[in-house]
Amino acid sequence: MPENRKKLIKKLIGSISNAIVHEILRKAAENKEISNYYEKEIENAVYRSKEFRREINPPDSRLPEKDVYYIRNKIIKRVKTELIVRISKGYKNINLDGIDLEIDQLLKELEMEV
């Protein structure tokens, strides 16, 4: 894997992870103002994810299956770790059970489903 491609995949993983974490936090938010903040963060992260996805390979072609599995597994670990940290800081109503579904939905939107 070329060095630049590795960096792009790392940035893609970070951006998707950020979007997923904020989506789960948005759903857990009890305050409309906080929910709106998360919504903006999600939009920005999804936009960046789409840009990184296009840079890795053309959207009309599929990413190799091994890359998609690698990306998905890294995202799962990052999201769970971040949400557990948030829970330990006192965040409430966070549902860890919905992580896989959220990831799969976003990967599908980015045309990266397995």
Tell me the pLDDT of the chain (114 aa) as tens digits.
Answer: 556 989 999 999 999 999 999 999 999 998 899 999 999 999 999 999 999 999 988 767 888 899 999 999 999 999 999 999 999 999 999 999 989 999 999 999 998 876
DSSP for the chain, please give it: --HHHHHHHHHHHHHHHHHHHHHHHHHH--SHHHHHHHHHHHHHHHHHHHHHHHHHS-TTSPPPHHHHHHHHHHHHHHHHHHHHHHHHTT--S--GGGHHHHHHHHHHHTT---
Record the pTM. Answer: 0.92
